[in-house]
Amino acid sequence: MYKYDPSSLKAEEFINHEEIMETLAYAEANKHNEALISEIIEKAKLRKGLPHREALVLLDCDIPEKNEEIYALAEQIKKDFYGNRIVMFAPLYLSNYCVNGCLYCPYHAKNKHICRKKLTQDEIRQEVIALQDMGHKRLAIEAGEDPVNNPIEYILESINTIYSIKHKNGAIRRVNVNIAATTVENYRKLKEAGIGTYILFQETYHKESYERLHPTGPKHNYAYHTEAMDRAMEGGIDDVGIGALFGLELYRYEFAGLLMHAEHLEAVHGVGPHTISVPRVRRADDIDPDEFDNGISDDTFAKIVACLRICVPYTGLIVSTRESQRSRERVLKLGISQISGGSRTSVGGYAEPEPEEENSAQFDVSDNRTLDEVVNWLMKLGYIPSFCTACYREGRTGDRFMSLCKAGQIQNCCHPNALMTLKEYLEDYAAPETKEIGEKLIAKELNNIPKEKVRKIAEEYINNIHNGQRDFRF
């Protein structure tokens, strides 16, 4: 029997099944305990986060007035830490060759009718130019696990290609990487290639379900997958992004697992996850989401986001175009800080739309709008779409990023950086109406930079951008 220990390097000790089951029972027993819930909400107001047991009580809370307080606090924490900025990114699928047997993903090795594709370096160039022409500065590259078709050398070469492309005023300034769990040595190579965040979703923290859902391939190994972030950090990557695929297992179990994973990273490496993603199972070729029993409603989804916002205030929260416009609008308010826009989830498809008979997509996109439509929509909702990548490029990663964040200093960087990168977007890529809305927004938001000195410099930089210069940052 494994014992719960957040500092252990063994998967079954830091994600401990017994501890999760006890936590779920504790939360269930206390979901009407008004005194305890009030006490936890008061503690959460200190903005230092909450441990998993207390977090679960808030998630399970079944008192309508207390739930209103939870949502209000999530909104407030979101405002205090992230203002009205939303960071934009796009996924870039390099290859859908995969040797694994994941039951929820159309790229599983047994799917013989999906079109298999792997981008050549030249095709990557075309894709990146198309992404730059949309206005993107931040990508998340994705590839299936296949040592023959997608070896680490292919991934490294692709990262190099992406960073090297300078087309008109465009540049990809941060490449986040979402590839299978690998060795410390390979993580070191990714670090040397200059990646931003290393992202790996746990899919499910429930070991038995994990093994059933991953019947074949290297991903079947629960411990190797769950301990991947420790190897990544050992390899020098200090920004890691975790996530669970909601719908596979009980959402309460996954929620506890995510928080325990965050606590583990903090305990061992002194820095929690940089981001948490909250994907839900989506329809795709060969995949019917109804076959998974644990699908969650939009209300539960919103509650998960709100509770995460409260429990890990310093961690960015991401939703993709798996979510519809409506669902995204709701969770943006409650805590999401990063969204993708104008995404294609097929291999290739940015430079030229994929013909229907060649479907290579990982999931059906729910939000099909262009990046410009998303930017326009965000601004109309009062948000500032941000293309900022400054921290990574200034070396503010891992604990250096977190200490800046915890000192409240990040506000002096994020706001002007958001405005400057939005200004670049407006100058180079925006449709006329988007540009008009954006210019007004920038003029208004400049006044919200608290430090006068910073405001003056930001104004000057924005003027320089208008006159053709690019790439300013704090």
Q: What is the largest CA-CA distance in the chain?
A: 66
Distance CA 224, CA 256 (A): 20
Cβ of residue 364: shortest distance to ligand SF4, in angstroms?
15
Q: Of 123, 239, 116, 245, which is closest to residue 177 (Cα–Cα)?
A: 239
**Cβ atoms of residues 308 and 317 within 8 Å:** yes
Cβ of residue 394: shortest distance to ligand SF4, in angstroms?
8
Specify the residue, 105 or 426, whose C-beta has the smaller distance to ligand SF4.
Answer: 105
Q: What secondary structure, in 3-state letters, does 336-381 show?
A: CCEEECCCCCCECCCCCCCCHHHCCCCCCCCCCCCHHHHHHHHHHC
Cβ of residue 270: shortest distance to ligand SF4, in angstroms?
18
Cβ of residue 290: shortest distance to ligand SF4, in angstroms?
19
Cβ of residue 59: shortest distance to ligand SF4, in angstroms?
26
Q: Of 340, 293, 338, which is closest to residue 315 (Cα–Cα)?
A: 338
Cβ of residue 143: shortest distance to ligand SF4, in angstroms?
8
Specify the residue, 54 or 227, whose C-beta has the smaller distance to ligand SF4.
Answer: 227
For the CA atoms of 316, 322, 327, 330, the dihedral, rounded to the nearest 10 degrees, stands at 10
Q: Which residue has the tokens 């519809």?
A: 324
Distance CA 167, CA 286 (A): 37
The structure tokens listed for 385 are 């779409």
Cβ of residue 472: shortest distance to ligand SF4, in angstroms?
12
Cα 67 → chain centroid: 25
Specify the residue, 139 or 180, whose C-beta has the smaller distance to ligand SF4.
Answer: 180
Which residues contact ligand SF4 by CB under 6 A? 87, 98, 100, 102, 105, 107-108, 144-145, 180, 219, 386, 388-391, 410, 413-414, 417
Distance CA 350, CA 124 (A): 10
| Ordered DSSP codes for 257-308 | HHHHHHHHHHHHHS---SEEE--B---BTTB-GGGSTT---HHHHHHHHHHH
Cβ of residue 408: shortest distance to ligand SF4, in angstroms?
12
Cβ of residue 392: shortest distance to ligand SF4, in angstroms?
6
Q: Which residues contact 361 (CB under 8 A, 6 or more apart)?
A: 106, 284, 285, 344, 345, 346, 349, 354
Specify the residue, 203 or 372, whose C-beta has the smaller distance to ligand SF4.
Answer: 203
DSSP state of 48: S
Which is it for strands 138-143 and 174-178: parallel, antiparallel or unpaired?
parallel
Cβ of residue 421: shortest distance to ligand SF4, in angstroms?
8
CA distance readout (Å), 387 to 124, 222, 284, 341 = 21, 35, 29, 12
Specify the residue, 219 or 303, whose C-beta has the smaller distance to ligand SF4.
Answer: 219
Specify the residue, 108 or 328, whose C-beta has the smaller distance to ligand SF4.
Answer: 108
Cβ of residue 67: shortest distance to ligand SF4, in angstroms?
30
Specify the residue, 24 or 245, whose C-beta has the smaller distance to ligand SF4.
Answer: 245
